Structure 1
Amino acid sequence: MKRESGILMHISSLPNEFGIGSFGREAYEFVDFLELAGQKYWQILPLGHTSYGDSPYQCFSAFAGNPHFINLDTLSKKGYLKEEDYKDINFGEDKEKVDYALIFKKRNEILEIAYNNFYKEKNEDFEIFKKENSFWLDDYSLYMAIKESFDLKSFREWEDEKLVNRDEETLKEYREKLKERIEYYNFLQYEFFYEWSNLKEYANSKGIKIIGDLPIYVADDSADMWSNPKNFKVDSDNNLKVVAGCPPDAFAKTGQLWGNPIYDWDKMEKDGFDWWILRVKESLKIYDIIRIDHFRGFESYYEIPYGNKTAENGKWVKGPGIKLFNKIKESLGDVNVIAEDLGFMTKEVIDFRDETGFPGMKVLEFGFGGEDSTDLPHNYIENSIAYTGTHDNDTALGWFLSISEEEREKAIKYLKLDLNEGVSYGLIRGIWGSVSRLSIATMQDLLKLGTEARMNIPSTLGGNWQWRMKEGSLTKELAKNLYDMTKLYGRTN
């Protein structure tokens, strides 16, 4: 089995002048950097159309892409924008943080101009795209157009009850009334997938594979929930009966209340798990490997009665287990999946993961709290993916400065940390030298950044998903240092 490595950095974190990272020049330069540094993988967070809170794990559709990532220079080259439409606009003072409220307003105004210019021409590729993706695009674009007409409220707050319940005559009326807005959202998706497929093709041509993230759950405020409520645990009025979360533990005394709808697995099984097979199939069109978030939820998941203010009164319920993945394999063949198996793992969950054959995750930052943690490299197995930390962890440096003195001493001793080299590089060496077939470092750790560059603090709203890499960070020296380390540990094959 080949030993390889890669870097985790979301598209939003790429530098540019337009307020948020995109599929533009800087993305291609990042691919070139990975190639120069001997890396074989670029891992990103979910590419979905984010909703309130800006989390890529809460999206308006399980299939649609985030219009924020459409590159404005690309639209200009295609003749849909003039430079004066976007070049001198202020997208935020701090170039190393995303101001989501500001870019939502500014970028949408610019994308409207691009759409109006695009729509003047007849575009056969656009018509083909709409037809090929109608199974999700029709509901998504209609949902977004209606949502926009109701001040961006969730469908549960729409004033027209017939619309909420998808009365066919009412839907017909709204399709006609909002046909131009529906086409606008169709255009955004067309442009998103056009640009993303070109970027992915470029990465693949350089020997770089894309690891994409697949959230296990969908958001309640989504086209998926509105168009297919019977896929979820709902009552006769399609109101949620239970929601997803995590039980209380040492980190969260009242548990985590995520609020996502929970699948009606019995109903999905009767349908042959068609929705999940379709979701995985579509994901594998845009990623080379998918990392399934909260993988343990397929073995057993935690459900909380709808309306509860905390997660304390939830219970564990058995999931579909191996039956789902057997069906996926039967339909799609062997699929490249990474199982996000972090957190409390029972023997049943471990046995289930092993039965799928998917590699699990090891996070070095978790390794120093107990006696002999399975997150310490001497306990890794070959069929695993090793990380310094994930998007939910502090950066390596931030983590090192925040842990107890006892943990710090253990880390220094175990990794032979050289504070001149930098804590981050000590952790990268730790996983690069492990037996795991693939090791992934965050870009923040490669740049030796502290807590100020943390991507997300779980169970908090606001201030997350904002970090952006500083322009000029991708130096030849940085690439050479990473290449030398990667070669030293036999990961440049």
Structure 2
Amino acid sequence: MKIVFRLNYHTIPGQSLWLKYSTVLDEKGVRFDQVVPLQWLDDRQWEACVNVGGAGRFRLEYNYQLRQSGNGVVLDEWGPVRVAEVDLDARDAVVLMDEWCSAGTADYAYDTKAFLAARGAVREFSQPGVPANANHSFQLRMEAVPEGKVPCLLGSVSEMGNWGWHSAVTLDEVAEGVWQTHLYLPPDWRIEYKYGLFDQKLGCVVGVEHGENRSLDPRNHAPRQWVQVRDECYRRDHAGLYHAAGVSIPVFSLRSDEGMGIGEFADLKPLADWACGVGLKLIQILPVNDTTSSHDWTDSYPYSAISVFALHPIYLRIQDLDHSMSAAFKERVLSARESLNPHERVDHEAVMNVKMALTREVFEEHRAAIVAGAPFREFLSANEGWVVPYAVFCVKRDHYGTADFSRWEEWAVYDREKVEALTEPSHPEWHAVAYHIWLQQELDKQLSDAVAHLHSKGLALKGDLPIGIDRQSVDAWAEPHLFKMDAQAGAPPDAFAVKGQNWGFPTYDWEVMRRDGYAWWRSRFGQLSRYFDAYRIDHILGFFRIWQVPYDHVEGIMGFFDPALPIHIDEIRERGIAFDYNRYCRPYIRWDAIAERFGDASEYVKNNFLHEAGHGYFQLRENVLTQRRIDDYFQEHPHEPFVRQGLLDCAAEVLFFEVAGSHGTLFHPRMSMQATHSYRDLDPDTRWRVEELYNDYFFRRQEEFWQGQGLAKLPAMRRASDMLLCGEDLGMVPACVPGVLKELGILSLEIQRMPKTHEVEFYHPQHAPYMSVVSPSTHDMSTLRGWWEEDAAATARFAWQMFGISQPEKELSGDVAAKIIWQHLQSPAMWAIFPLQDLLAMDEELRHPVPEAERINVPAVIPYYWRYRMHLSTAQLATADGFNKRLRHMIVSVNR
């Protein structure tokens, strides 16, 4: 028998397609695996032929693979393995006509957890019979088919109705979102066809898919042949696709009468009731992992978790614990609530101290029953791999008074056997360990209960995955080989943080992670999918390349992209640049710059921190030679912050960074070098040549390389769970990123005041792609109202460009805020998600009286106190009838 594989896929030079197939013989169970190249036929089709001998039936399993020379991309198509049942006795040839299966379609997005409520209950499907004369089968992937309609085939032959809208061939749903029919077609004819929607009541086609006709070329390979056509996705207008709106708010920002000075997991339930009432379909929150490191307000930073698996104890509702306590205990709980709840902002330290004291009291009171109980034992058994190291980490953190495990004496290096020994009931520290395990059990119960309530209301919960881990975390302690502990992750300079950002997290050793198939990441996504239906991947650009700051430095501006293709010394010289290592790679400090930077303190700085190097140059002294040493010095001398910043700027006066271990042959340009005195003092010709090298490095040479990096890592993340993935792709976005996200079905993020092109100042939500999330702002920005008052000139340009308002008011009015919300609701994007503060901006009586008080984070300030609380309780929000009716009307009007 001849088996013909024909694949529709438009390739570009350097790409090739491969067939991976296995034949499984029913009688013997023998499996035969092969990988063979497909042959290029034309700009859209590739083909391979395989001959199979024998008799009887066998099962053929296969899929396709894309390979790209140059950057080593090897990408398997999306979805489960393809299957063809072959009868060697009944057929002489099987022709498999396929389209490349891409995750980047609406139909595969609809197949994620975020749309479970929209899909309804699990159904059973029957398999229709095959007509005796049939020689073709057609299979179409199509989710979210409009009620009362079914997909159909209409085409250029009588068997497809000759394009007649009353004689189209309807398809049967044989699996969730999979539609199929069998029919006879002349094998030697070229046939054109399309899919349409057939209204079963009207008995005719009521719509046809967009785009060019699909086609079947002559397929006459043998007298007894079977042709199987598998088409990917009905080509729909965006207007006919699913659109929904959501709200974003950190859990810690929720306010309720039942809380204890902070939002808790239980507060998600009344928030869901409100969201459902106004027509929203999703609630988005910030990370909720445990960040307890220092036991002070700096632990409020939600992106610095001590465990990527453990939930934060601060979100536990004490009075919902199912353990009876004394009247005196209940009085203490009530007293704590009455004391902390009136606070305008979160007092992180006070809340944690109270909750830890109260939960320890509950645990000690019921310790024996808890650790012997089935819920505790079942939770421990199911989560032992992460919860035991986490619990021991917490015990040792508190014992040594620091999360810096390098100071834990004999516990500084993780020892699995020693850690597991603490779980023995006879061990003296077992009860201390059990306390933290029990907290996680209760947190899991309360969050799961809240999630179930959201789902009962038809809402999805969207979480947030931080790009980094804390260097003083259980993950770094237990699995240090996965991370580069001598590096710090951050972000390059931008308009919001001109010095860049240094988050302090170690970066990932992707090569080590690749060897076990990214097992750590897959486990992480698996745990998150226990609670979340969708996920925002923080700084998804880090999967292409991370901004890495050497540990010797403090400011993000001293970093470079990793991985990246560095510049060889020969290339620098070939560009006509007379490269001088000392001039280009060491701090460039001259007296005019010192005077400009330090003013009246110049002589003091020169005498205490610099020494002359000759020819008008100065060098930093040994004790302040690097930014880290400067920072350490001023930790001990905090009375000179002005001098500290000036010296940090001096250390940053370099144009290139040498690649470690390259012996002066490989270099990375320093980003924003144009702002340095060193760059300014180059002669005009050299400055032009360095600028050309700079632009080539950052905007041209890395693109194909970074595409390969993204396609090497992100498919594993996409396959690790059935959550809908959304990428936070803001900042300096490589040109390759949109294509990779589209192929993998990862939604992009589109922010109106942060366009991804320099051609416009403000992004119009109407231009967003369907596979995206639009939002007026994020937690890292000022709210709409805050932004409106930051720069009057920018506000005036925005008001004129977007709404034709020539003289905007100084304060954002409720009506203009509503216009901005309405713009986003009308966007073609799948999701429009709004910070709650921006929604409330529409109501001038309901919103917070002070715009600045609504800001969640200022990225340029590190560390920052994350303590924003709603000024309204969830109960007050639910009874704000005028606002709620207005918002619901807006959402319903655009069919979101």
Distance 1:84 1:92, change over 3 A: closer
Cα deviation for residue 490 of structure 1 reads 1.7
**Among 485, 488, 497, the residue aligned to 1:252:** 497
Q: Which moved more, 1:206-215 or 1:451-460?
A: 451-460
Question: 3-state SS of the aligned residue for 2:527?
Answer: helix
Gaps of 5+ in 1: 234-239
* Cα distance between partner residues in 1 of 2:559 and 2:762: 28
* 1:422 Cα deviation after fit: 3.8
The answer to whether residue 854 in structure 2 is matched with residue 453 in structure 1 is yes
Partner of 1:178: 429
Q: 1:465 aligns with which of 859, 867, 870?
A: 867
User: What letter corresponds to residue 246 of structure 1 in structure 2?
Assistant: A
Q: Which residue number in structure 1 is paired with residue 309 of structure 2?
A: 63
Letter in 1 for 2:253: S
Q: Show the 5 A alignment for 1:352-391.
A: 352-366=740-754, 371-373=759-761, 375-391=763-779
Once the two structures are overlaid, the 10-residue window that deviates more, 441-450 or 394-403, is: 441-450
- Partner Cα separation in structure 1 for residue 422 and residue 860 of structure 2: 37
Show the 5 A alignment for 1:28-107: 28-51=269-292, 52=294, 53=298, 54-75=300-321, 78-79=323-324, 82-89=329-336, 91-92=339-340, 94-107=342-355
3-state SS, counterpart of residue 799 of structure 2: helix
Tell me, what secondary structure is at the counterpart of 2:397?
helix
Query: What is the 5 A alignment of 1:79-478?
Result: 79=324, 82-89=329-336, 91-92=339-340, 94-121=342-369, 122-158=372-408, 160=409, 162-167=410-415, 171=419, 176-233=427-484, 240-318=485-563, 320-329=709-718, 332=721, 335-366=723-754, 371-373=759-761, 375-415=763-803, 421-448=814-841, 449=848, 450-460=851-861, 461-471=863-873, 472-474=876-878, 475-478=880-883
- Structure scoring higher RCO (CA < 8 A, sep ≥ 6) equals 1
Matched, 1:12 2:258: no
Q: Are residues 462 and 301 of structure 1, via their aligned partners in 2, closer, same or farther at CA, if it must alter by over 3 Å?
A: closer
Is the partner of 2:814 in helix, strand or coil?
coil
Paired residues of 1:368 and 1:407 also in contact (CA < 8 A): no
| Distance (Å, rounded) in 2 between the aligned partners of 1:95 and 1:346 | 43
**Alpha carbons of structure 1 residues 337 and 80: separation in structure 2 relative to 1, 3 Å:** farther
**For the Cα contact (< 8 Å) 2:403–2:473, is it kept in 1?**
no
- Asked whether the equivalents of residues 126 and 187 of structure 1 are also in contact (C-alpha less than 8 Å), the reply is yes
Residues 358-410 of structure 1 show CA distances to partners (whole Å, capped at 9, x for unaligned) of: 11001123359965257322321111100111111111111111123243342
Whether the 8 Å CA contact 1:393–1:457 is kept in 2: the answer is yes
Partner of 2:192: none
**In the alignment, residue 545 of structure 2 is paired with which amino acid?**
S
Measured after TM superposition, the shift of residue 267 of structure 1 is 0.6
CA contact (8 A) 2:488 2:551 kept: yes
The residue that corresponds to 1:3 in the other structure is 243
Q: Output the TM-score relative to the length of structure 2.
A: 0.51
CA spacing shift, 1:308–1:336, aligned 2, 3 Å: same
Matched residue type, 2:820: L
Residues of 1 paired with 2:719 and 2:307: CA distance? 26
Between Structure 1 and Structure 2, which shows a larger proportion of helix residues? 1
1:32 to 1:155, Cα distance in 2 relative to 1, 3 A: same
Contact 2:306 2:474 in 1 (8 A): yes
Q: Does the 8 Å contact 2:540/2:729 carry over to 1?
A: yes
TM-aligned CA distance change 1:103 to 1:382, over 3 Å: same
CA apart distance, 1:198: 0.5
1:23-78 C-alpha deviation (Å, 9 max, x unpaired): 23x43211110010001000000110123521110111000001111112212x54
Could you tell me whether the CA contact under 8 Å between 2:782 and 2:855 is conserved in 1? yes
> Residue 268 of structure 2 is aligned with which of 27, 32, 35?
27
| Amino acid corresponding to residue 515 of structure 2 in structure 1 | K
- Paired with 1:49 and 1:396, the residues of 2 have a C-alpha distance of 30
Q: CA deviation at 1:293?
A: 0.3
Report the alpha carbon displacement of residue 326 of structure 1 after superposing the two structures with TM.
2.7
CA contact under 8 A between 1:91 and 1:106: conserved in structure 2? no
Larger deviation, residues 257-266 vs 349-358: 349-358
Residues of 1 paired with 2:785 and 2:530: CA distance?
A: 36
Q: 1:468 to 1:115 in 2, by over 3 A?
A: farther
Question: In the alignment, is the contact (CA less than 8 A) between 1:203 and 1:209 conserved in 2?
Answer: yes
Cα distance in structure 2, aligned partners of 1:310 and 1:174: 40
1:21 to 1:412, Cα distance in 2 relative to 1, 3 A: farther
Query: 1:426–1:314: structure 2 CA closer, same or farther, 3 Å change rule?
Result: same
Counterparts in 2 of 1:421 and 1:60: CA distance versus 1, 3 Å: same
Unaligned runs of 5+ in 2: 1-240, 564-705, 842-847
- How much has 1:323 moved relative to structure 2? 2.1
Residue equivalent to 2:233: none
Which amino acid is 1:317 matched to? D
Asked whether the equivalents of residues 368 and 376 of structure 1 are also in contact (C-alpha less than 8 Å), the reply is no
For residues 149 and 411 of structure 1, what CA distance do their matches in structure 2 show? Answer: 57
Q: Deviations over 1:333-372 (max 9, x none)?
A: x541001101111112233222322110011233599652
| CA distance in structure 2 between the aligned counterparts of 1:484 and 1:308, rounded to whole angstroms | 53
1:144 maps to amino acid: C
What is the rounded CA distance, in whole Å, between the counterparts of 1:202 and 1:186 in structure 2?
A: 25
Equivalent pair of 1:146/1:174 in contact (CA under 8 Å): no
SS of residue matched to 2:475: helix
8 Å Cα contact 2:254/2:262 also seen in 1: yes
Q: What's the counterpart of residue 236 of structure 1?
A: none
What is aligned with 2:59? none
CA distance in 2, matches of 1:408, 1:434: 23
For the 8 Å contact 1:454–1:467, the answer to whether it is kept is no
The one-character-per-residue Cα deviations of 1:444-489 (angstroms, maximum 9, x if unpaired) are 1122241211111113224323323422233233221111010112
Q: Higher strand proportion, which one?
A: 2
TM-superposed deviation, 1:196: 0.3
| CA shift in 2, pair 1:402/1:373, >3 Å | closer
What is the TM-score when the length of structure 1 is the normalising length? 0.91
Deviation at 1:308, TM superposition (A): 1.1
Using the alignment, how far apart are the partners of 1:468 and 1:117 within structure 2? 35
Q: Is contact 2:262–2:869 with CA below 8 Å preserved after alignment?
A: no
- Kept in 2, the 8 Å contact 1:98–1:468? The answer is no
Residue 416 of structure 1: how far off its partner (Å): 5.8
The Cα RMSD (Å) is: 2.3
Q: Deviations over 1:140-176 (max 9, x none)?
A: 0000011011113321232x1x311124675467663
Q: Which amino acid aligns with 2:247?
A: I
Q: Is the 8 A contact 1:455 1:465 kept in 2?
A: yes
Instruction: Confirm or deny: 8 A CA contact 2:766 2:826 kept in the other structure.
Output: no
Task: Return the offset for 1:322.
Answer: 1.5
